[in-house]
Amino acid sequence: MRLKTIIIDDEPLAVSILEKYASEIKEIELMATFNNAVEAASFAQDHPLDLIFLDINMPVLDGLSFLKSLDIKPMVIMTTAHENHALESFELQAIDYLVKPIPFPRFLKSVQRIIQLKKPQDSLDQNNSETKSIFVKIDKKKLQKIELDKIVLIESLKDYIRIKTDLGKYIIHKTLSSFTEELPADKFIRIHRSFTVAIDRIDSVEGNSIEIQGERFIIGRSYINEVKSKILQDLIN
């Protein structure tokens, strides 16, 4: 699968960085780059596109107005220096919202989300059916089955983790990073070096914290943009 892609940004340095990032991902077919949205609009009318990396603050035609003008909308990842347009971007069906400077791992994760969305539906259904539950080793002999929809959050205890579920708590010998990688990314998100949470268990978001079952959890600085964009995306959908 190759994603027919364009980049729209009035900052040459930003375009150069995104070009370099795109060249590292084999699924991206970069068709063109544009320093203004007017020229890009003309190109988009004549060429079928899968993905647009779109800046917001541009002269003549800003990114949000450009997005509103499209009759056929490809998948869009917003790239901007400001956080205050996130909600409107997701209301316009943007898939992700990247705040500059954009680190490559964050860029890669965003593209991987696009790739997952472009996979055939039967493949997605198969993946979903395979991840309804997991088995964890809670002592030397016992494997415990845990339903994913019963998990509330996972807390790091250095080389161990505590899994809080509706049915009880389990402590297992595993790192939070490795366990989080085993969970479906559309259902769980890491909010801090010490916590991964179930997205549908988040009751509210306020500033740099979330609330789950009456308890507040701080969102780590390096996670806050991804957490807020994911939560907003789920709310819009």
Q: What are the tens digits of pLDDT across the range 57-84? A: 999 999 999 999 988 889 999 999 988 8
CATH architecture, domain defined by 3-118: 3-Layer(aba) Sandwich (3.40)
Confidence of residue 151 (pLDDT cuts 50, 70, 90): very high
Question: What is the reported pLDDT for 129?
Answer: 45
Q: What are the tens digits of pLDDT across the range 111-148? A: 998 888 877 543 444 454 455 888 888 776 678 889 99
**What percent of the chain lies above the pLDDT cut of 70?**
91
With contact defined as beta carbons under 8 Å apart, do 155 and 136 qualify?
no
Mean residue pLDDT across the chain: 88
Q: Which of 71-75, 145-149, 203-207, 226-230 has the highest mean pLDDT?
A: 145-149
Separation between Cα atoms, residue 96 and residue 166, nearest integer Å: 31
The pLDDT of 1-17, averaged and rounded, is 94
66 DSSP assignment: H
With contact defined as beta carbons under 8 Å apart, do 149 and 191 qualify?
no
Q: What are the tens digits of pLDDT across the range 25-49? A: 999 999 999 999 999 998 998 888 9
CATH T-level fold of 127-236: OB fold (Dihydrolipoamide Acetyltransferase, E2P) (2.40.50)
Domain ranges in the chain?
Answer: 3-118, 127-236
Confidence of residue 199 (pLDDT cuts 50, 70, 90): very high
Q: Please identify which residue in the block is written with the tokens 């609009």.
A: 41
| Contacts (Cβ under 8 Å, ≥6 apart) of 206 | none
Question: What is the reported pLDDT for 212?
Answer: 95
Q: What are the tens digits of pLDDT across the range 153-194? A: 999 998 899 999 998 999 998 899 989 988 888 889 999 999
Question: How many CA atoms within 13 Å lie on the side-chain side of 43?
Answer: 19
3-state helix, strand, coil in the chain (%, to 5): 35, 30, 30
Question: What is the reported pLDDT for 235?
Answer: 56
Confidence of residue 23 (pLDDT cuts 50, 70, 90): very high
The pLDDT of 222-235, averaged and rounded, is 77
